C-alpha cells in the first residue's frame, strides 16, 4: 500500500474513532467519512505536499457535513452548561490537528482521541 492510501486509512480511522466516542457513527455518518476520504484522495493527488494535513482536513470535512445534516459536532465538553458549541480543528491547515474549544482556547484532544472526553 502506498503512502497516500496509508495516510487516508489512518485519517479515516482517527475520525471514525472520534465519531464512535460521540456515539454518532451510524451508517449515514460513515458514508460522510467515505466521501471526505474520497475527496481528499483527489486533493492530495493534485497537491502532494498536502498529505501531512489530511487528518485535520478529513475531520473538518466530516464536521461540516454533519453540521449541514445533523447539527454541531463534536460539542465542546469544556463549556458544559453554557451556550453549546462545537470544537474546532486546529490548526486549520497544519500537522498534528487537535479538537480545540475556541471560546477558552483549550486543546481538548488530538483528532482521533475524543474518547477521553465524550
Contact yes or no for 105/118 (Cβ under 8 A): no
Confidence of residue 1 (pLDDT cuts 50, 70, 90): low
CB of 20 closer than 8 Å to CB of 54: no
Weakest-pLDDT range from 62-71, 74-83, 89-98: 74-83
Strand 106-110 and strand 88-90: the pairing is unpaired
Q: What is the pLDDT of residue 86?
A: 95
The whole-model pTM stands at 0.94
Contacts with 63 (C-beta within 8 Å, 6 or more apart), sequence order:
73, 74, 86, 89
Q: Name the pLDDT band for 9 (thresholds 50, 70, 90).
A: very high
Which tens digit of pLDDT belongs to each residue from 83-109?
Answer: 889 999 999 899 999 999 999 999 999
Amino acid at each position: 500500500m502506498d503512502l497516500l492510501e496509508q495516510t487516508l486509512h489512518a485519517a479515516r480511522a482517527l475520525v471514525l474513532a472520534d465519531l464512535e466516542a460521540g456515539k454518532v457513527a451510524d451508517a449515514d455518518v460513515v458514508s460522510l467519512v467515505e466521501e471526505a476520504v474520497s475527496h481528499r484522495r483527489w486533493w492530495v493527488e493534485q497537491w502532494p505536499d498536502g498529505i501531512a494535513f489530511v487528518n485535520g482536513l478529513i475531520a473538518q470535512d466530516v464536521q461540516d457535513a454533519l453540521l449541514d445534516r445533523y447539527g454541531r459536532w463534536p460539542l465542546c465538553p469544556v463549556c458544559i452548561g453554557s451556550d453549546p458549541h462545537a470544537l474546532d480543528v486546529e490548526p486549520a491547515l497544519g500537522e498534528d490537528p487537535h479538537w480545540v474549544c475556541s471560546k477558552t482556547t483549550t486543546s481538548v484532544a488530538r483528532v482521533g482521541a475524543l474518547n477521553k472526553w465524550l
